[in-house]
A and B are shown apart, each in its own frame.
Chain A
Amino acid sequence: MNARLQVQDLSKSYPGPKGIVRAVDGVSLAVSAGEFVAVEGPSGCGKTTLLLAAGGLLEPTTGQVLVDGQDPYVLSAERRAQFRAANLGFVFQQFHLVPYLSVLDNVLAPALALPAADAKERARELITHFGLQDRADHVPAELSTGERQRIALARALLNRPKLLLADEPTGNLDPDNARVVLGYLAEFAHHGGAVLLVTHDAAALSLAHRTLKLRGGRFVD
């Protein structure tokens, strides 16, 4: 099987004021290369927890995560960070661009974790690809929200990840910009990448190959 992401019986619990809270409860899924999978659900259903666990950022209470066949949680924190840098790309609803860095430097941020000789060239290619070549020296505050998300997407793609994890990437965008961003995600999948998108926006599901519904920490039909 060519699964870029395999999540098996994943649970994540937190201690809450009224006892243990199961944010994700026995979830399993797989995303193959070239596949664009969307997880849809309302706020608080465990989407972000699932995404962070899948991205090697949040160790599950039980269950297993395999990214390209490798369980990131058996690695030390530092090696897991390197693993993320080499294999994963993240896109967030809030973009999380570094406010004092130019567009080019923001796209180059992953190179701090995984330096590459061609990083700058690759960053310029991505900026051009996303139609922001004239904005390379601008800072995020000078960009529109749609442009910011495209920069965030370009940053996520710098290290040529195998799996792209997107958390409500269209949440702050108008429909036109949302369509553009989703189009890029689909394009990434089309070129052999794997995309896991979590969203509560039904409109964002249109380009996904598969949609999973998450309710109360579990997938439902």
Chain B
Amino acid sequence: MGLARLVLREILYRKLNFALGVFSVCVAVACLVGELAVLQKHDARTEQLIAAKEKDTREKMAKLEDDYRKITKGLGFNVLILPQKQNLSDLFAQDYATQYMPEAYVERLATSRVATIQHLLPSLQHKLKWPEYERTIILIGVRGEVPILHADPKKPILEAVPAGTMVVGSEIHRSLKLKAGDRVKLLGREFTVGKLHPERGTKDDITVWISLAEAQELLGRKGQINGILALECVCATDSLDKVRAEIGRILPDTQVLEFQSQTLARAEARQRAAAEAHDAIEREKQNRARLREVRESFAAILVPVVVAGSALWIALLAFSNVRERRVEIGLLRALGVRSRRIMAIFLGRAALMGLAGACLGSAAGLLIGAAWHEGTSPAPVGPVWLNAELWLAVIAGAPLVAALAGWLPSFLAAQQDPAVVLSQE
């Protein structure tokens, strides 16, 4: 008969004591494994949630992108093409460009294959005193929209001003009491008042529009312009860089200035929406991380408490077992069994308790993990498994902890004086 047989026989004989020990180890291991499984499931759930959120965001952003594409199809960036040398401070201070460029530039642009430009409006502007009426006006010479050769014909967004006529801003026609059809003189030349602009509350109210050719003649700028309005430049990107690059390639000695663009604001809104979606995902990640921290903190308290409680319980059971087997120990000592073999009997028993508890507990923990789900979780996350190293650590660790817990009772058992025990019996 070996020690193992003796230990197994005793376990079968005192089933309750052993079962109580196994149960306590089982609870401790189930807590540990269950907690690990729950954390594993939490991580899987987090990945699932984030992936779903990212997918949702991608879909929404794609829809938004599509919406903006549709919106921007008919809109675009409005840019003003100016001579390279134009000082922008002067432009803003004087309300017109003081530098000039050839009118032929607009043709060059119109005949080039610029995909981003839809409408081209060359102009010659100058602020001057209307000598006949002693009024400051912005004289604008326009020739209407220059057709872009490669593009489909579109309805012009600005009609040309017929020669010999003028279009007058509201402040001017109101103060001078001009009416359509009136004959007026400008810089010595006679014009018929054509359209009258309604009040806009901008500098447009002091503008006088005539044909570009007449303006060039009146201002002594034959064949020259000082600005090209390029309207509704369609650009798939969120910036003007592409438009600028494209125009800069064709008209290198010009500069491009953006103005009055609704698309920019919308692009910014789209960017903000994207940022908000990104922030929402980040917030979700942070919330999940915080929840994980809470769970980890709970586990960090629960598991050691349960393990310590289990170890204490095993120690108490071992003390009880030693006390119950006092005579048996005394007899074995009297028969010559060495104290370390006596210790091995009790430590082996505790280790078996730990091993059985670890096996049952890890299975119970996995079941807990499998059964656990978050309250708001609609989709199952799938099974949870312990990796081999962790499982081995649990299977090896539990018997070790149980043996450590049973060490003192085992030591005391081994130290029992057989003479005292046997003489008392």
Q: Is the CB of A100 within 8 A of B339?
A: no
Interface membership of A3, Cβ < 8 A: no
Number of A interface residues in the complex (CB < 8 A)? 33
Among the listed A100, A108, A113, which residue makes an inter-chain contact with B336, where contact means beta carbons less than 8 Å apart?
A: A113
Among the listed B6, B335, B339, B419, which residue makes an inter-chain contact with A78, where contact means beta carbons less than 8 Å apart?
A: B339
Q: Among the listed stretches B8-16, B214-222, B249-257, B347-355, which one makes contact with chain A, having 4 or more residues with CB under 8 Å of it?
A: B8-16
Tell me the residues in window 91-109 of chain A with beta carbons closer than 8 Å to chain B beta carbons: 92, 94, 96, 98-101, 105, 108-109
Q: Is the CB of A90 within 8 A of B423?
A: no
Q: Mark A107-126, 1 if CB is under 8 A from B, else 0.
A: 01111111000000000000
User: With A85-B335, A109-B1, A109-B332 given, is the CB distance from A52 to B6 under 8 Å?
Assistant: no
CB-nearest residue of chain A to B333: A81
Tell me the residues in window 1-35 of chain B with beta carbons closer than 8 Å to chain A beta carbons: 1-3, 5-6, 9-10, 12-14
Q: Is the CB of B9 within 8 A of A57?
A: no
Interface membership of B422, Cβ < 8 A: yes
Q: Mark A156-179, 1 if CB is under 8 A from B, else 0.
A: 000000000001000000000000
Main DSSP-derived SS at the A contact region:
helix
CB-nearest residue of chain B to A109: B335
Number of B interface residues in the complex (CB < 8 A)? 29
Q: Mark A63-82, 1 if CB is under 8 A from B, else 0.
A: 00000000000000110011
Interface membership of B291, Cβ < 8 A: no
Interface membership of B328, Cβ < 8 A: yes
Interface membership of B341, Cβ < 8 A: yes
Q: Is the CB of A48 within 8 A of B1?
A: no
Give chain A's interface residues, CB within 8 Å of chain B: 48-49, 52, 55, 57-58, 77-78, 81-86, 88, 90, 92, 94, 96, 98-101, 105, 108-114, 155, 167
Q: Which 8 A-B pairs have the closest CB atoms?
A: A85-B336, A100-B13, A113-B336, A58-B419, A57-B419, A108-B1, A84-B336, A113-B337
Give chain B's interface residues, CB within 8 Å of chain A: 1-3, 5-6, 9-10, 12-14, 327-328, 330-341, 418-419, 422-423, 425
